[in-house]
């Protein structure tokens, strides 16, 4: 084989190897970013759902212990912490998605229940709590679907 042919063959092989390595690196990077986003979505949805459930339990506790100002304050505080979390859900899942809409609706139900706690309207309070539980279930279903679980 002539020396220039050896050089061309070596350069061609090196370029082919570099091109394949670059393509694999790009695909691997995209896959890693996708997995990282999915992990963040799962963590955010799990945290939101847990806090939503905790706030609901605090409202139930405040309802069954009307004489406890501490129970009422705790419930108010926990419900108040939920609205900012909807922003995280919106950021990770997208605005106007089913996940974001159901998260907002679940929080709204608890806020309504919190507001009705002071009033003597047990039927309205229970309806707001039931709506929030129903919306939390829809949120969880939509989040599982969104992350492919």
- pTM (2 d.p.): 0.78
Identify the pLDDT of residue 9. Answer: 66
Domain that holds residue 118: 41-147
Residue 95 lies in a domain: yes
Residue 57 lies in a domain: yes
Residue 35 lies in a domain: no
Beta-carbon count within 10 A of 18 CB: 10
Q: Give the CATH number for residue 106.
A: 1.20.1440.210
For 15-42, how does the pLDDT look when each residue is reduced to its tens digit (9 = 90+)? 766 676 666 666 666 667 778 889 999 9
Residue 31 lies in a domain: no
Distance, in Å, from the CA atom of 44 to the CA atom of 41, rounded to the nearest integer, reads: 5
Identify the pLDDT of residue 90. Answer: 94
Distance, in Å, from the CA atom of 60 to the CA atom of 74, rounded to the nearest integer, reads: 11
Distance, in Å, from the CA atom of 125 to the CA atom of 75, rounded to the nearest integer, reads: 14
What is the total count of domains within the chain? 1
* Rounded mean pLDDT, 98-127: 91
Residue 21 lies in a domain: no
For 139, the token pair is: 């949120």
pLDDT at 121 over 70: yes
For 44-66, how does the pLDDT look when each residue is reduced to its tens digit (9 = 90+)? 999 999 999 999 999 999 999 98
């Amino acid at each position: 084989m002539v020396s220039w042919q050896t050089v061309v063959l070596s350069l061609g092989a090196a370029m082919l190897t570099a091109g394949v390595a670059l393509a694999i690196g790009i695909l691997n990077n995209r896959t890693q970013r996708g997995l990282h986003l999915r992990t963040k979505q799962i963590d955010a949805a799990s945290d939101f759902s847990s806090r939503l459930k905790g706030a609901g339990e605090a409202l139930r506790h405040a309802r069954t212990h009307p004489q406890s100002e501490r129970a009422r304050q705790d419930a108010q505080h926990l419900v108040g912490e939920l609205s900012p979390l909807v922003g995280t859900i919106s950021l990770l899942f997208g605005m106007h998605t089913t996940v974001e809409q159901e998260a907002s609706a679940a929080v709204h139900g608890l806020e309504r229940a919190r507001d009705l706690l002071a009033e003597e309207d047990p039927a309205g309070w229970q309806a707001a709590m039931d709506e929030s539980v129903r919306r939390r279930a829809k949120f969880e279903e939509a989040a599982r679907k969104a992350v492919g679980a």
